[in-house]
Amino acid sequence: MNLLLTILFDGITYASWLFIVALGLTLVFGVLKILNIAHGSFYAVGAYAGASLVGWLLSIQMAPAFSLVALFAAAVAVSAVLAPLTERGLLRMFYGRDEVLLVLVTYAMFLMLEDITKLLWGVNPYYVSDTYQAFGTLHIAGQSYVGYDVLLIGLATGCGLLTWWVLNRTRQGKIVTAVIHSAEVAASMGVNVSRIYTLAFMCGVFFAALGGALTAPMISVQPGLSVGVIIVSFAVVIIGGLGSIEGAAIGALIVGLARAAAVHIWPPAELFSIYVVMAVILMFRPEGLFQRIQARKI
């Protein structure tokens, strides 16, 4: 029973930050129809920016609990700087062209950002574990759980619910949905499609950077972060269905639980468990769990 609870909690914790990252990826695909390979790089930049800002706060004797605000601020800063430069300065030139070309463009940006992060932050790892320890531990059913992990689960849930509410219950969300279904028709009705694209891309970059910033206290932030994250994020959105928020949530849970079960039951299986699960699901649902072939939605 204790092993089951441990697997469940570890799986949900892993799925939480992964869902935040995948949420940005599926949002960008749903609105802009772009498979953004550079999404993993935005995650890495968010992790570095969050670790740097938290490290500075700790150096001036600020309480570690305040660093949570710094992590959000780092994600906002990364989105505000990188998203307009990327979408307006690069991607906009390739809209309406072959989707493979856009994949290659984002892959090129991924390679550039890998080297830029090394130039800015070097190759030595960053540690901000004080933040991870600042929220204490919770004791439930005889098990101890880190408070930061519980907080992370709540934040991921809040991000998902807020995004769903904005897209489905607000006027701006209805406009985004109209652009998703037909950008040409939306533009003919007076919608500023270019502005919607920029805002959607900014939200996508924000979620990627937020996922990186929130995981910075849990890991050593070092070169190579972006590679593993983008692979697993694509596994999540492929399992759930490209462009589906519900699919991203379910996909993240499946991936998180599969990884946690492998780690606790048979550790060598961690290397391939996610991909085995993805292959099995795609055998029966090639379009993903929530993807409709007829229309792309989020």
pLDDT at 207: 97
Tokens at 152, concatenated: 């992370």
pLDDT reported for residue 298: 53
Match 């607000």 to its residue by tokens.
170
- pLDDT tens by residue, the chain, 298 residues: 688 888 999 999 999 999 999 999 999 998 998 989 999 999 999 999 999 999 898 888 787 778 899 999 999 999 999 999 999 999 999 988 888 899 999 999 999 999 999 999 999 999 988 889 888 888 876 778 889 999 999 999 999 999 999 999 999 999 998 998 888 899 998 999 999 999 999 999 999 999 999 999 999 999 989 998 999 999 999 999 888 889 999 999 999 999 999 999 998 888 789 989 999 998 888 888 886 544 444 5
pLDDT of residue 143: 77
Phi, psi values for residue 73, rounded to 5° = -65, -40
Please give the structure tokens belonging to residue 184.
């040409």
The terminus-to-terminus CA distance of the chain in angstroms comes to: 37
- How many angstroms separate the CA atoms of 57 and 52, rounded? 9
Report DSSP letters for the chain, one per residue.
Answer: -HHHHHHHHHHHHHHHHHHHHHHHHHHHHHHH----TTHHHHHHHHHHHHHHHHHHHHHTT--GGGHHHHHHHHHHHHHHHHHHHHHHHTGGGGTTS-HHHHHHHHHHHHHHHHHHHHHHH-SS-B--HHHHHTT-EEEETTEEEEHHHHHHHHHHHHHHHHHHHHHHHSHHHHHHHHHHH-HHHHHHTT--HHHHHHHHHHHHHHHHHHHHHHHGGGS-B-TTHHHHHHHHHHHHHHHH-TT-HHHHHHHHHHHHHHHHHHHHH-GGGGGTHHHHHHHHHHHH-TT-SS--SS----
Report the pLDDT value the prediction gives residue 1, as an integer from 0 to 100.
65
pLDDT of residue 249: 94
Ramachandran class of 48: left when φ > 0, alpha when ψ lies in -120 to 50, beta otherwise: alpha
In the chain, where are the structural domains located? Answer: 2-284
* Residue corresponding to tokens 């906009």: 92
Q: Which residue's structure tokens are 């502005």?
A: 195
d(C-alpha 80, C-alpha 145), whole Å: 34
Distance CA 214, CA 71 (A): 6
Phi, psi for residue 291 in degrees, rounded to 5: -80, 130
Q: 183: Cβ–Cβ under 8 A, 6 or more apart, which residues?
A: 193
Task: Just give the CATH number of 2-284.
Answer: 1.10.3470
Q: 43 near 227, Cβ under 8 Å? A: no
